[in-house]
A and B are shown apart, each in its own frame.
Chain A
Amino acid sequence: MVKVTIDGIEIEIPKGTTVIQAAEQAGIEIPRYCYHPGLSIVGVCRICLVEIERMPKLQVACYTPATEGMVVHTNTEQVLEARQAVMEFLLVNHPLDCPVCDQAGECWLQNFYMQHALHDSRMFENKVKKSKALQIGPNVMLDSERCILCSRCVRFCDEISKSNELGIFNRGDRAELQPYPGTELDNDYSGNTIDICPVGALTDRDFRFRTRVWYLSETESICPGCSTGCNINVHHNDQRTYKAGGSRVSRLKPRYNPDVNEWWMCDAGRYGFTHVDADSRILAPTRSIGEEQEMSWGEAASEIMTKLREVISVHGKESVGVILSPQMTNEDLFVARRFFRDGLGLKHIDFEVAPLTTGAKDDFLIKADKNPNTAGARLLGVGARQGSGMTVAEMLEAARKRKLRALYICHHDLANGFAVDVVEEALTAQDLVVFQGPNTNSTSALAHYVLPAAAFVEKTGSFTNYAERVQMIHTAVTPLGESKADWQIFRSLAKEAAISVPYFEAEDVFQALTAEVEAFSGLPYAGLAGQGIALRDGQALPESETVVA
């Protein structure tokens, strides 16, 4: 450890910490453009110049290691002058087209100009012309004139995605960021370049011009796109959906978690939220026997329970199959377990459906298991592999043979895991098929009752990622139509069956879960927010070979 003093604040930091990091620990933010903690350090933007006693010149805080006894000043006249000078230089060739720039509102040229510069323009000359509005990849637009050549995106492509798509060509103020001619910025992580671009040079094709960022709210969540569980912020816009084509969720952004995704997320996850506001959303409980008819939750619960009891009384408890989903939260699954297994005494409960085509994976963030909560479902023991009931495949076979008479299916599109005719034969042979999920699919089309479940951005709960880290999602937007969280749906049904589900909030469910399920025992609810908690405290787990749809 070394002791340094920054703006009069003495702090102790590990050897090798840079001045910019040390300052952060002392609660002092030194402006930066090129510096990014996840990338190599190049020291090119020069905005982080600070004064270090006994050094003749200003030093860049991003590169300079803090050493024992170092005394740093980040706010002297000399530093402020240099900072303003760098700001002025950065704006010499910058187009200042903020009114039409999508970055406005989250632009670090704007922010630092307001915080550190506020100079009057002395620039009379013409600016250097470069290429504008270039679509450089499926997700990214480039405006070279706005680019301040911080090289963050180049370093990202070299060091993180290791795909080398971007380069800086030419030199001096003619230097220009470009992909290699004839190629695109097209890798599984390309969206991150937009996040780390401090200015409006790289903007998001999906997001641009849809809303001004100051209309957005942020809610912490977890990407449901695979079992990694990348920490994200959901950027949503409840009040002005008419400006964004009716979509309430505008974009997902990665949220720093050193143990999971650091600063990054994959494009599949980033752009995989459109189902949340899609036309396929189920808006009300619906009866699909004969003519399709919307119902109230009361009617639906009562009718479904009546039919389910009928099946059970005629054919026995072993004639009902329940297919849960690893898309559901720990809380959803726990209440499902309480209701179906403990309350109704059903035996055939499973959640794993192996997909027909194995999901893509890499050795970075992308897992083949495209579900956020497979590990949670396993730990909660709601799979056939954890119990003694039928697997989903066995259920469908039994259903076809009418050994099963009722199927309760959550979220799954079974066509992803089985041939269409297998699913069709099985489901059409049933006396009762209930489908519950946020969106319609080929399975819901075969159900007698379709129940609207809240999407992941509409509820609070927790997922357990592949490494058994329990992480929270939070309600960002109100559930669409009549939809509600899966566990709340089970609670409605349980009420009809006079089974006690005494929970009002997700937190209540979680408390019961930790009290009852060994693997989660002692987990503090309050500690889950933010970075989540690893059940095995960082012990590495062998990645499961099983892949579920």
Chain B
Amino acid sequence: MAGKIISKFFDIDGGNTIDVYERHGGYQSIRRVLKKMAPGQVTDEVLKSNLRGLGGAGFPAGRKWSFIPKDSPKPKFLVVNADESEPGTFKDRYIMDRYTHGLFEGIMIASYAIGANKAFIYIRGEYVRQAENLVEQIKCAYDRGYLGKRIFGTNFNLDLVVHRGAGAYICGEETALLESLEGKKGWPRMKPPFPAIEGAFKCPTIVNNVETIAYVPTILQEGGEWFSELGSERNGGLKLYGVSGHVKKPGVYELPMGTSLREIIYEHAGGLQDGRKLKAVVPGGSSAPVLTADEIDVKMDYDSLAKIGSMLGSAGVIVMDDTTDIVRALYVVTRFYHHESCGQCTPCREGTGWAERILKRILDGNGRSVDIDNLLNIAGNIMGNTICPLGDAAALPLKSYLTKFRADFEAAVSDRNGVGKVADEPVSLLN
């Protein structure tokens, strides 16, 4: 059924192995591509598919590929972003575990399209078992001649290397990832130059998310238009939605782009636990602005969520029921961005820690009425003023929780003001 592309392998025993993958039609797409298509045609097909960057940014994948300079004598690299660290996101882990060769086939096709003979999978360091599986299966692919020199008897060569990160959310940001790949701290780079012009090792580089690449074989097999029509307008194909939090059936659900959030929560994830009521949903990983229970009829695609002031992000849906302490939720999320701020540029480095400390103080019962507006203001001051999007990722939840659930914060501030109450103004040096 068209309903499943990647996830149909999730329930197949040994779905990660080369034999099972081939038995289910794997490695046919790359054979056809290498024999019948020019690299440019591959890119065109992906353009037609409306496949967007499924890591979170949503940038059309085919357009990204087309930025690789055709005349550059430098080697090109494909880097697969398997850093998957946005809280609430776990879809890529499933792909690497259970659609391993589908990912490889996508890597081969994408590398062919952009002229790369070397590809890296940058996988978060915590995914030890996933990395082991990748390494093992890469070896199998080499053994069959699917990787290495003269693949399928053509002139196409490709080496694939698994590179483990080491515990840094920021390395999911593509330029930080490249720095990390080069053996440095994950400090995001200034842009331009964009990676397609100057990426890994100063060479043209395409960084694509695992899921994005994993859809490529099917797109080339079935055609770009076919894939595009599976989704909504300008948001092609299917999408893996991860659902976690207070639902009965947390998990990964592969559904057409644009499936409604309500359907995802109530039909696929089984609705809320213990007959609880919905309080809030984060639709796309913890950096996506939170939605209230009234907003869940939204279509889960890039454009529809943007329209209501949130974002699809990584499509990691975090469901919060009416028992949720929203102040604590924001504290936990902000603590994360503070912990993960790389420290390179000022607003994020200083602002995330400051916001976390204020939220902690509120949680501890020492909130002040000015805190809410101060937090909103701090978030506004981080937004848009940093080198990379981590600043925005930290600011968006602050803004949205504080705005949409202001009453909760006001209650937290006044409820607890009696306990360990402190002055409403900083101590002045003049007094």
Q: Do chains A and B touch in the complex (CB under 8 A)?
A: yes
Q: In the complex the two chains form, is B346's CB within 8 Å of A46's CB?
A: yes
B233 an interface residue at 8 Å Cβ cutoff?
no
Q: In the complex the two chains form, is B426's CB within 8 Å of A171's CB?
A: no
Please indicate the chain A residues that have their CB under 8 angstroms from the CB of B170 in the complex: 171
Please indicate the chain A residues that have their CB under 8 angstroms from the CB of B168 in the complex: 171
Task: For the complex formed, measure the closest distance between the CB of B412 and the CB atoms of chain A, giving whole angstroms.
Answer: 16
| Residue of B349, B353, B361 with most partner-chain A CB within 10 A | B349
Task: For the complex formed, measure the closest distance between the CB of B385 and the CB atoms of chain A, giving whole angstroms.
Answer: 6
When chains A and B are docked, how far (Å) is the Cα of A126 from the Cα of B358? 10
A42 an interface residue at 8 Å Cβ cutoff?
yes
B152 an interface residue at 8 Å Cβ cutoff?
no
Tell me if B's interface is mostly helix, strand, loop or mixed: helix
The listed residue (A63, A90, A171) touching B190 by CB distance below 8 A is: A63
Q: In the complex the two chains form, is A58's CB within 8 Å of B190's CB?
A: no
When chains A and B are docked, how far (Å) is the Cα of A357 from the Cα of B342? 49
Q: In the complex the two chains form, is A173's CB within 8 Å of B341's CB?
A: yes
A149 an interface residue at 8 Å Cβ cutoff?
yes
Please indicate the chain A residues that have their CB under 8 angstroms from the CB of B381 in the complex: 81-82, 85-86, 88-89
Q: In the complex the two chains form, is A90's CB within 8 Å of B426's CB?
A: no
| Residue of A57, A81, A125 with most partner-chain B CB within 10 A | A125
B340 an interface residue at 8 Å Cβ cutoff?
yes
B350 an interface residue at 8 Å Cβ cutoff?
yes
Q: In the complex the two chains form, is A125's CB within 8 Å of B354's CB?
A: yes
Please indicate the chain A residues that have their CB under 8 angstroms from the CB of B342 in the complex: 171-172
Q: In the complex the two chains form, is A57's CB within 8 Å of B384's CB?
A: yes
Across chains A and B, the number of contacting residue pairs, with CB separation under 8 Å, is: 101
Q: In the complex the two chains form, is A175's CB within 8 Å of B357's CB?
A: no
Interface residue count for B (Cβ, 8 Å)? Answer: 33
When chains A and B are docked, how far (Å) is the Cα of A49 from the Cα of B385? 8
Task: For the complex formed, measure the closest distance between the CB of A176 and the CB atoms of chain B, giving whole angstroms.
Answer: 9
Q: In the complex the two chains form, is B357's CB within 8 Å of A125's CB?
A: yes
Q: In the complex the two chains form, is A86's CB within 8 Å of B385's CB?
A: yes
Given known A-B contacts A46-B386, A124-B422, A149 and B343 have beta carbons under 8 A apart = yes
When chains A and B are docked, how far (Å) is the Cα of A90 from the Cα of B347? 8
Given known A-B contacts A58-B384, A88-B381, A126-B357, A170 and B343 have beta carbons under 8 A apart = yes
B351 an interface residue at 8 Å Cβ cutoff?
yes
Q: In the complex the two chains form, is B426's CB within 8 Å of A121's CB?
A: yes
Q: In the complex the two chains form, is A44's CB within 8 Å of B344's CB?
A: yes
A203 an interface residue at 8 Å Cβ cutoff?
no
When chains A and B are docked, how far (Å) is the Cα of A42 from the Cα of B388? 13
Q: In the complex the two chains form, is A175's CB within 8 Å of B349's CB?
A: yes
When chains A and B are docked, how far (Å) is the Cα of A47 from the Cα of B338? 21
Given known A-B contacts A171-B341, A175-B343, A128 and B361 have beta carbons under 8 A apart = no
A224 an interface residue at 8 Å Cβ cutoff?
no
A213 an interface residue at 8 Å Cβ cutoff?
no
The listed residue (B358, B374, B387) touching A43 by CB distance below 8 A is: B387
Q: In the complex the two chains form, is B353's CB within 8 Å of A92's CB?
A: yes
The residue in chain B whose Cβ has the minimal distance to the Cβ of A86 is: B346
The listed residue (B190, B343, B347, B353) touching A85 by CB distance below 8 A is: B347
Task: For the complex formed, measure the closest distance between the CB of A109 and the CB atoms of chain B, giving whole angstroms.
Answer: 12
The residue in chain B whose Cβ has the minimal distance to the Cβ of A82 is: B385
When chains A and B are docked, how far (Å) is the Cα of A357 from the Cα of B351? 56
When chains A and B are docked, how far (Å) is the Cα of A63 from the Cα of B191? 9
B185 an interface residue at 8 Å Cβ cutoff?
yes
Please indicate the chain A residues that have their CB under 8 angstroms from the CB of B57 in the complex: none
Task: For the complex formed, measure the closest distance between the CB of A229 and the CB atoms of chain B, giving whole angstroms.
Answer: 37
A118 an interface residue at 8 Å Cβ cutoff?
no
Task: For the complex formed, measure the closest distance between the CB of B168 and the CB atoms of chain A, giving whole angstroms.
Answer: 7
A515 an interface residue at 8 Å Cβ cutoff?
no
Task: For the complex formed, measure the closest distance between the CB of A70 and the CB atoms of chain B, giving whole angstroms.
Answer: 15
B345 an interface residue at 8 Å Cβ cutoff?
yes
Given known A-B contacts A124-B422, A172-B340, A172-B342, A46 and B354 have beta carbons under 8 A apart = no
B339 an interface residue at 8 Å Cβ cutoff?
yes
Please indicate the chain A residues that have their CB under 8 angstroms from the CB of B345 in the complex: 43-46
A193 an interface residue at 8 Å Cβ cutoff?
no
Please indicate the chain A residues that have their CB under 8 angstroms from the CB of B370 in the complex: 122
When chains A and B are docked, how far (Å) is the Cα of A46 from the Cα of B351? 13
| Residue of A45, A88, A90, A128 with most partner-chain B CB within 10 A | A88
Q: In the complex the two chains form, is A128's CB within 8 Å of B347's CB?
A: no
B352 an interface residue at 8 Å Cβ cutoff?
yes
Q: In the complex the two chains form, is B361's CB within 8 Å of A124's CB?
A: yes
Q: In the complex the two chains form, is A58's CB within 8 Å of B385's CB?
A: yes
A168 an interface residue at 8 Å Cβ cutoff?
yes
Q: In the complex the two chains form, is A172's CB within 8 Å of B353's CB?
A: yes
Q: In the complex the two chains form, is B347's CB within 8 Å of A173's CB?
A: no
Given known A-B contacts A125-B361, A172-B342, A46 and B385 have beta carbons under 8 A apart = yes
The residue in chain A whose Cβ has the minimal distance to the Cβ of B345 is: A44
When chains A and B are docked, how far (Å) is the Cα of A58 from the Cα of B391? 14
Please indicate the chain B residues that have their CB under 8 angstroms from the CB of A49 in the complex: 385
Q: In the complex the two chains form, is B387's CB within 8 Å of A124's CB?
A: no
The residue in chain B whose Cβ has the minimal distance to the Cβ of A93 is: B350
Q: In the complex the two chains form, is B339's CB within 8 Å of A172's CB?
A: yes
Identify which of residues 21-65 in chain A touch chain B, using a CB-to-CB cut-off of 8 Å: 41-47, 49, 57-58, 60, 63
When chains A and B are docked, how far (Å) is the Cα of A47 from the Cα of B351? 14
Given known A-B contacts A149-B343, A173-B341, A89 and B350 have beta carbons under 8 A apart = yes
Given known A-B contacts A88-B381, A126-B357, A128-B353, A171 and B346 have beta carbons under 8 A apart = no
The residue in chain B whose Cβ has the minimal distance to the Cβ of A92 is: B350
Please indicate the chain B residues that have their CB under 8 angstroms from the CB of A1 in the complex: none
A123 an interface residue at 8 Å Cβ cutoff?
yes
Q: In the complex the two chains form, is B426's CB within 8 Å of A124's CB?
A: yes
A174 an interface residue at 8 Å Cβ cutoff?
yes
When chains A and B are docked, how far (Å) is the Cα of A173 from the Cα of B348? 9
Please indicate the chain A residues that have their CB under 8 angstroms from the CB of B386 in the complex: 46
Given known A-B contacts A63-B190, A85-B381, A92-B353, A172 and B341 have beta carbons under 8 A apart = yes
When chains A and B are docked, how far (Å) is the Cα of A57 from the Cα of B341? 21
Given known A-B contacts A44-B345, A44-B346, A90-B346, A172 and B352 have beta carbons under 8 A apart = yes
Given known A-B contacts A57-B384, A124-B426, A46 and B347 have beta carbons under 8 A apart = yes
| Per-position 1/0 for B73-115, Cβ under 8 A of A | 0000000000000000000000000000000000000000000
When chains A and B are docked, how far (Å) is the Cα of A448 from the Cα of B347? 69
The listed residue (B338, B341, B343, B384) touching A168 by CB distance below 8 A is: B343
Task: For the complex formed, measure the closest distance between the CB of A153 and the CB atoms of chain B, giving whole angstroms.
Answer: 15
Task: For the complex formed, measure the closest distance between the CB of A230 and the CB atoms of chain B, giving whole angstroms.
Answer: 32
Q: In the complex the two chains form, is A89's CB within 8 Å of B347's CB?
A: yes
Q: In the complex the two chains form, is B426's CB within 8 Å of A123's CB?
A: yes
The residue in chain B whose Cβ has the minimal distance to the Cβ of A174 is: B343
Identify which of residues 14-37 in chain B touch chain A, using a CB-to-CB cut-off of 8 Å: none
Task: For the complex formed, measure the closest distance between the CB of B407 and the CB atoms of chain A, giving whole angstroms.
Answer: 23
Given known A-B contacts A85-B385, A171-B341, A172-B338, A122 and B374 have beta carbons under 8 A apart = yes
Q: In the complex the two chains form, is A123's CB within 8 Å of B343's CB?
A: no
| Residue of B170, B353, B426 with most partner-chain A CB within 10 A | B353
The residue in chain B whose Cβ has the minimal distance to the Cβ of A62 is: B190
Q: In the complex the two chains form, is A86's CB within 8 Å of B347's CB?
A: yes
Please indicate the chain A residues that have their CB under 8 angstroms from the CB of B358 in the complex: 124-125
| Per-position 1/0 for A4-23, Cβ under 8 A of B | 00000000000000000000
A148 an interface residue at 8 Å Cβ cutoff?
yes
Please indicate the chain A residues that have their CB under 8 angstroms from the CB of B361 in the complex: 124-125
Please indicate the chain B residues that have their CB under 8 angstroms from the CB of A86 in the complex: 346-347, 381, 385
When chains A and B are docked, how far (Å) is the Cα of A121 from the Cα of B385? 21
Known A46-B385, A125-B357; further 17 A-B contacts with Cβ < 8 A: A44-B344, A60-B190, A85-B347, A85-B385, A89-B347, A90-B350, A92-B350, A92-B354, A93-B353, A122-B426, A123-B426, A125-B358, A126-B357, A170-B343, A171-B341, A172-B342, A172-B352
Would you give 20 A-B contacts (Cβ < 8 Å), ordered by A? A42-B344, A43-B345, A44-B387, A45-B345, A49-B385, A58-B384, A85-B381, A88-B381, A89-B350, A89-B351, A122-B426, A123-B354, A124-B422, A128-B353, A171-B168, A171-B170, A172-B338, A172-B342, A173-B341, A175-B343
Which A residues have a C-beta under 8 Å from some C-beta of B? 41-47, 49, 57-58, 60, 63, 81-82, 85-86, 88-90, 92-93, 120-126, 128, 148-149, 168, 170-175
Q: Which 9 A-B pairs have the closest CB atoms?
A: A175-B343, A85-B381, A89-B350, A125-B357, A172-B341, A173-B353, A92-B350, A171-B343, A44-B345
